[in-house]
Amino acid sequence: MLAQSDDSISSATSGDGKKPRHIAVIMDGNGRWARQRGLPRVAGHRRGVDAVRNMVSNCGKSDIPYLTLFAFSSENWRRPTTEVKLLIELLSSTLDSELMKMHEHDIRLRVIGDLSRFPKRLQRRIEDAEELTRDNTAMNVTIAINYGGRWDIEQTCRVIAERVGRGDIEPQAVTSELIESHLSTSDLPEPDLFIRTGGEKRISNFLLWQLAYTELFFTDVYWPDFDANSLKDALDYFAGRERRYGQTGEQIASLAQA
């Protein structure tokens, strides 16, 4: 993760910081969207994919360069096997059907999470997709699958502990910056805006470290219904926030004038 330097703090609090650079989303409510219509949960997940496609396009139109989407959590394995299987199939078929379109739109795709539990074929397809889009620069879309914020911190601690154990680095070298450089989001900026659809007001083990100073937006809208207007509501909410990072409102006002 790009460290939150003084530079980025001042730009994030002055005029041009009114638009988020990085939006992270918990796409929740697919099941309830389907139930409301007397449909099976899978119908909600399918419509959820349409909402993802629209969200990527709407963020592109709004010049949001980084979008991170929580598609499958490390806890979602607890769901009925048939639903888990279906979600993995849907991920896999969506990757197949959308990859070339994303590439044509100059979108770089990243996938974060513990992929070791997925079929080898899917792991390879993900690697290929990341490789194919590596040099794309118009937009960065990151999909979190079998992702958990605790897992991310745990794998980071393990790697750092190994480095200390080998005598590679001193314990004093373990700083926030070092930790960030080992997180799975190491080449993404910190999320500016977090959106959770579906009415719940919790983080559900998403980006735990990374959300430290993120503005949080919760909406009752179910994910399949999240459209351009819902995004506008979230962006308007963000534009009205004053990001203080521990400073006072007066300090921020004088920074904006400088």
Which residues participate in catalysis according to the annotation? 28, 76
The size of the interface with ligand IPE (CB under 6 A), counted in residues, is: 17
Q: Which does 70 bind (CB under 5 to 8 A by kind): Mg ion, ligand IPE, none?
A: ligand IPE
Residue 202 contact, options ligand IPE, Mg ion, none, Cβ 5-8 Å cut-off depending on partner type: ligand IPE
Structure tokens at 7: 């530079």
* Separation of alpha carbons 36 and 210, rounded Å: 34
Q: Total binding residues for Mg ion by CB under 5 A?
A: 1
Stretch of 53-61, 120-128, 196-204, 226-234 lying at the interface with ligand IPE (CB under 6 A)? 196-204
Enumerate residues 10-49 that contact Mg ion by CB under 5 A: 28
Three-state secondary structure call for residue 5: coil
Helix (H) / strand (E) element for 107: namely strand 107-112
User: CA nearest 206: which of 53, 75, 59?
Assistant: 75
Q: Does residue 215 touch Mg ion according to CB under 5 A?
A: no
Q: Based on CB atoms, which residue is closest to ligand IPE, 129 or 145?
A: 145
Dist CA 130 CA 52 (whole Å): 18
CA–CA dist 91, 85 (Å, integer): 10
Residue 72 in contact with ligand IPE, rule: CB under 6 A:
yes
Q: Provide the H-helix boundaries in the chain.
A: 6-13, 30-36, 41-61, 81-104, 120-132, 149-165, 176-182, 228-239, 249-257
What number of residues does the chain have?
258
Q: Which of 26, 129, 195, 234 is the binder for ligand IPE (CB under 6 A)?
A: 26
Q: How far is the CB of 26 from ligand IPE (least distance, A)?
A: 5
Closest CB to Mg ion: residue number: 28
Residues that bind ligand IPE (CB under 6 A): 26-32, 70-73, 76, 87, 198, 200, 202, 204
Residues that bind Mg ion (CB under 5 A): 28
